[in-house]
Chains A and B, each alone.
Chain A
């Protein structure tokens, strides 16, 4: 039972490079989220999706893009990496039947931009 799987676990990018953080879940959850975690700042919501084909901006969407072509996958794209995007990124998913279900998290991707 895989749950939420994120790849890669670690990555170092140079300024201006691009990359895609992958996230897939096998629980048939409609809701998926991308958060970034910075020390002392908690988790900030980047983007979220309530179902395939639907995405919405969170608190800190600038510099990122997402797509949701399938229920299972929710990739996060960084087009022009900047040092401010150095962070730990978490993907999560939850069942959409009601709003009271908990979210399940991946193990995170630690990204460093140099």
Chain B
């Protein structure tokens, strides 16, 4: 069965500092990995995804994520955080198999202070 773990409930960083939001996954086959962001009282917005190829994926709003197959991780990163990046971030995984659903982690709240 697929599963996703986000080990941190909350990440606090100062504006201008780099940020990392951690994600590990478990699938039986090859994974497709996604990051989403949710602002208060809104739906989820897609940030980026890993399909295959380059382990460093670039996405929206300056975010990037690094896929590490040996560590089964897909950490979200940004070189310089903004206060407006404060939100709830979700990692998600889907197996490379027809008919499988998209499974989410429990989310990590990112708080960026000025």
Contacts and interface: CB of A to CB of B under 8 A. Distances in A.
- Chain B interface, >50% SS class: loop
Contacts of A4: 43
Given A100-B49, A102-B34, A43 B90 contact: yes
Contact of B42 (A58, A99, A107): A107
Given A42-B90, A99-B95, A108 B104 contact: no
A40 B100 contact: no
Interface of A: 4, 33, 35, 40-43, 45, 48, 50, 56, 58, 90, 92, 94, 99-100, 102-108
The 5 tightest CB contacts between A and B, nearest first, are A42-B106, A105-B43, A43-B104, A100-B51, A102-B46
Q: Which range contains the number of B residues in contact with the other chain?
A: 20 to 34
A105 B102 CA distance: 12
A99 B106 contact: no
Contacts of B41: 108
26 contacts: A33-B101, A33-B102, A35-B104, A40-B9, A42-B104, A42-B106, A43-B90, A43-B104, A45-B101, A45-B102, A45-B104, A56-B99, A58-B101, A90-B43, A90-B44, A99-B32, A99-B94, A99-B96, A99-B100, A100-B51, A102-B49, A103-B34, A103-B92, A103-B102, A105-B36, A105-B45
